[in-house]
Amino acid sequence: MKMRAILGMACILLFAVPSVQAQNTGGAPSAHSILFSSPELDFFAQNMLGKDFTMPADAQRIRRLDDGKVEADFDRRIRYANLAVSPEGFSYNTLLTIKQTNYDLDANGNRILPGRVMDRTFVIRSKYGRSLSTGKIVGSWEMLYNDHPNAVFGMTGNMIMSMEEDKLVILSLPGGFLDGFAASGRFVPRTNQSRMEVAVRDGKVIQTTTSEMFDVDPETLERTPVGEKTTTVDVAEVGEGR
């Protein structure tokens, strides 16, 4: 029953925002009646919208957290939906379902049992428009829903979307800081900067995300790099979704 309620809430948030259609009242079209368009939006709509991205069988699913004190078994599924386009820009929802168990490590690097289950489902709303100063596609994201019991709502971040040859690239940086997992079930102020590249290769849509983690001073928001960059690959089939 609890799982049904969670999925039901996620679906409501995934589809609650209607698509924006151009209004035509007759006569010559005005600037306000022309919907936003860009190569980035076209790529997203054709290759990502409505598809389920999953980690392939041979993907690296183990992560070291908290300066190597915690080891996480990690898997995820991503779905993009509810695209809305207006004259000013476009927006969409991202539904992420994460399966994760964290294990503290002893002095020899062995897992201390039992692990802590940190499974969660959350919905993010991303909004984009065109920068007047640079012409770049810039935007922001906001956390709409997170069913983790320790979730902090109202999280936001900034993004830049661009095309690099045949790849869509999205740079993302959360604002302020997030609650990073730490040993003994604690949380520490951290953030991550990510670069996501999406390309169509051999009949599959390949999404590659490289992330760098930072410790954050909660008083000054000064960031200090911590750990190594990690890369996560997600794959979807061409022709699915919409």
Q: Is the pLDDT of residue 237 over 90?
A: no
Is residue 31 one of the residues assigned to a domain? no
141 close to 126: Cβ distance less than 8 angstroms: yes
In a domain, 23, yes or no: no
Residue 30, domain member (yes or no): no
Domain-embedded: residue 113: yes
pTM: 0.82
- Structural domain harbouring 193: 2-17+37-237
In a domain, 22, yes or no: no
Number of folded domains that form the chain? 1
Name the 3-class secondary structure at 182. coil
- pLDDT category at 172 given cuts 50, 70, 90 is very high
Does residue 202 fall inside a structural domain? yes
Encode pLDDT of 53-95 as tens digits.
999 988 888 988 888 899 999 999 999 999 999 999 999 999 9
Tell me the pairing of strands 62-65 and 52-54: unpaired
Residue range 17-26, pLDDT digits in tens:
333 333 333 3
pLDDT for 150 equals 67
Above 70 in pLDDT, residue 108?
yes
How does 161-180 read in b/e, with b if 16+ C-beta sit within 10 Å?
beeeeebbbbebebeebbeb
Q: Provide the CATH number for the domain around residue 183.
A: 2.40.128
| Domain contains 60 | yes
HSE (side-chain half, CA atoms, 13 Å) at 1: 0
pLDDT at 33 over 80: no
pLDDT band at 231 (very low <50, low <70, confident <90, very high): confident
Largest CA distance in the chain: 75
Tell me if the bond preceding 56 is cis, omega within 30° of 0. no
Residue 226 maps to a domain: yes
Q: 50 versus 147: which is more confidently predicted?
A: 50
